[in-house]
Amino acid sequence: MEDELAIRTRGLTKRFRAQTAVAGIDLAVPRGAVYGFLGPNGSGKTTTIRMLLGLVRASAGDARLLGRDVPGELDAVLPRVGALVEGPAFAPYLTGEQNLRRFDAADRHAPARTRSERVASALARVGLEHAARKKAHAYSLGMKQRLGLANALLLPRELLVLDEPTNGLDPQGTREVRALVRSFAADGTTVFVSSHLLAEVEQLCTHVGVMSAGRLVAQGTLDELRRSGGPARIEVQTPDAEAARRVLERFGVAADGVGAAGVVAGSTTDRALAPEAIVAALVADGVRVQGFRVEPASLEQRFVELTGEGFDVVA
């Protein structure tokens, strides 16, 4: 089972004197997943990432990346891992190409013989080949983020660890980075992406871990987190409102009245309730169904339940 995990931690903890920043978390990131590490700012996400990458030492617990112990086998595993942590930092008066060559030369696992080809390929992968000879100080923030991703891709990677990759970007830059992350995942790379943006996680991720005050309070697929949330909402549009209300109540759906345009709405916590069964019963009772919609519990609602805090949901 562990071979199927790109990241696994047990009891991973980090204390800074009297303060516990990360409190005994058990991560399980499947290979091939896009795993959203979600939580408000200050919830322990970046500290966790720094422990995974060997940038700080854990106070307790253990971690494995791609089947290797961290930090004990970092030398063996880090060449297979690309990372973008706390924003890229480049020499401002070197070009994008020169910056990448400089970083590549510092990597003892990177063969000098193929450096030019790797740099050109990485720039093309993130759509920066046209800006390869532009000085980094003239790059927009979105271009700098893409250059940081190019640096993470100079060698083939099985795992990408991205800390707030769209932080501070305008909508266009955000869309560009999201598209890149999707392309990495489509190629089979496992992507572990931390974010405080709910919309980002919903649009990008297959799996989610929710952090709150240093603790991992939930983990699973997006659908699993939705199903574990509050009641689903059911709406029926019909001119036969009273008959529709009676049918919904037979299914345990607490109808709460008739809205505009003849919409009868109600809520249910029955996760196994089949929408097609409700529609069939409505039709059998002579209800003229003009529209039918099931709206599952929102992730925002579930996250607020888990953390007691709101999330920034701006795309």
Beginning with the edge strand found earlier in the chain, give each strand of the sheet holding 81-84 in spatial order: 81-84, 159-163, 190-195, 34-38, 207-212, 215-221
Give the CA dihedral 60, 9, 39, 90, nearest 10 degrees. Answer: 90
Q: Cα–Cα distances in Å, from 8 out to 25, 62, 69, 142, 306? A: 10, 8, 10, 31, 22
Neighbour count for residue 58 (Cβ, 10 Å): 22
Q: Between 233 and 158, where is the model more confident?
A: 158
Q: How many percent of the chain have pLDDT more than 70?
A: 89
Share of the chain above pLDDT 90, in %: 45
Residue 301: the pLDDT is: 67
The candidate with the shortest Cα–Cα distance to 219, out of 13, 28, 80, 3, is 28
pLDDT tens column, 168-207: 777 887 888 888 888 888 888 999 999 887 778 888 899 9
Q: Which residues contact 39 (CB under 8 A, 6 or more apart)?
A: 45, 194, 196, 210, 211, 212, 307
Question: What pTM did the predictor assign?
Answer: 0.76
| Structure-token match 């890149």, residue found | 180
Give per-residue pLDDT as tens, 268-300.
766 667 888 889 999 999 999 999 888 776 676
The stretch 294-314 carries a mean pLDDT of 64
At residue 260, does pLDDT exceed 70? no
Give the 3-state secondary structure of residue 26.
coil
pLDDT of residue 169: 77
Over 70: is that where the pLDDT of 312 sits?
Answer: no
Q: What pLDDT, on the 0 to 100 scale, is given for residue 224?
A: 81
Using pLDDT thresholds of 50, 70 and 90, give the confidence band for residue 310: low
Write out pLDDT tens, residues 110-122. Answer: 889 999 999 999 9
Enter the tokens of residue 189. 């790379």
- Chain-wide mean pLDDT for the chain? 86
Distances in whole angstroms, Cα of residue 254 to Cα of each of 239, 271, 273, 276: 19, 15, 13, 18
pLDDT attached to residue 87: 64
71 touches 79 (CB < 8 A): no
Q: Hey, what domains does the chain have and what are their CATH numbers?
A: 2-227 (3.40.50.300), 232-296 (3.30.70.100)
Give me the mean pLDDT over the 50-68 stretch. Answer: 94
Predicted confidence at residue 264, as pLDDT, reads 83
Identify which of 297, 251, 255, 304 has the alpha carbon closest to the alpha carbon of residue 278: 251
